[in-house]
Every structure is written in structure tokens, then in C-alpha cells.
Amino acid sequence: MASVARRPAPAPDAVTTAPALRRTPEERRRKSGPALRAFFRIAETWGLDVDEQRGLLGWPSRSAFYNWKAGRAVTLPYDTLVRISLVLGIYKALHILYPEDEFADGWVRMRNLHPLFEDRTPLRVMVEGDVGSLYDVRRLLDGRRGGASS
């Protein structure tokens, strides 16, 4: 009898959360710590100041922001997790598009003539805009790399 090759089961962290569970406090709590650690690594790489970081996170209070930065156990709001996910996707897309790390990481601070940015930096657009601005930047980069959001 021929054996059927089976794919190994995905690691628990690689499993996509079902849409119905994404907003639950338990799921948000599970994802909050790793999401914040990743966000703050990107913020450091991009050289973001406190206000730029808070803007990307949706303008949490200063006390909440500093609690998050200190790594205190927290359950982030769903909107904040979405924002962090978009920042991670933007970071990933930039590093796919631009293999030179210095350019990829500096792109958010470069003035851009694309109509989305209107001669402003992508960072300024993302910080001053709402979550839709983050989606717009993510979609633009994903379109440039010829891929779908992932």
C-alpha cells in the first residue's frame, strides 16, 4: 500500500486565528506581548520618537504607552493590534522591495511624490492619518511588490 505524504502540522504560532476569535480578550492578550515587542524593534530600527510611535499605535495615553514599552502584561485594544499588524506588513514589504536594509528602513522618512503622500513622508502620512492611512501604505507597497497582503 502506498503511503501518503503528509504535511507537518503548522507550529501553534503559525496558525491563523479564526476571524470570530480575533477580537476576544484571550486572543488579544495572547498576541499583545509579541506584537508590542515586534513594534518596538521596528520603531527603534526606524528611529521613531515617542510621538511617532504613539501616532502609529493610535495615540494611546502616555501612561499606557510607557506601560506597553516597559513590557507590562497588557491586553491591547483590537484596533491597536490591527495597527501593529499593518506596521509589520509595511516593514516586511519594504524589505522585500528594497534588499538594502538602510534604504528599506529609511524609506518611511523619504519625501514621496506619489499622490498618496503629496510630497510628504510616508511616516508623516501614517502618523497624522487614521488606520486607513496605514492600510493605504500597506496596499501601495504590496501592489509594488506584486503580492497580496500577508
Closest CA to 98 of 66, 145, 40, 137: 145
**Is 67 in contact with 111 (CB distance < 8 Å)?**
no
Copy the grid coordinates of residue 137. 501604505
Query: What is the Cα–Cα distance from 82 to 57, expressed in whole angstroms?
Result: 9
Q: What is the pLDDT of residue 20?
A: 65
C-alpha to C-alpha distances, 23 to 30, 49, 60, 69, 108, nearest whole angstrom: 11, 29, 18, 22, 29
Region for residue 125 given its phi and psi (left: phi exceeds 0; alpha: psi -120 to 50; beta: otherwise): alpha
Amino acid at 41: R
Span 112-139, pLDDT tens digits: 999 999 999 999 999 999 999 999 999 9
Q: What is the pTM of this model?
A: 0.82
Residue that has been written with the C-alpha cell 518596538 in this structure? 40
Q: Across residues 4-9, what is the average pLDDT?
A: 42
Span 10-22, pLDDT tens digits: 444 445 676 766 7
Amino acid at 63: S
Query: What is the Cα–Cα distance from 61 to 8, expressed in whole angstroms?
Result: 43
**Is 131 in contact with 79 (CB distance < 8 Å)?**
yes
Query: What is the Cα–Cα distance from 89 to 137, expressed in whole angstroms?
Result: 10
Supply φ then ψ for residue 112, to 5 degrees.
-135, 130
Q: What is the pLDDT of residue 134?
A: 97
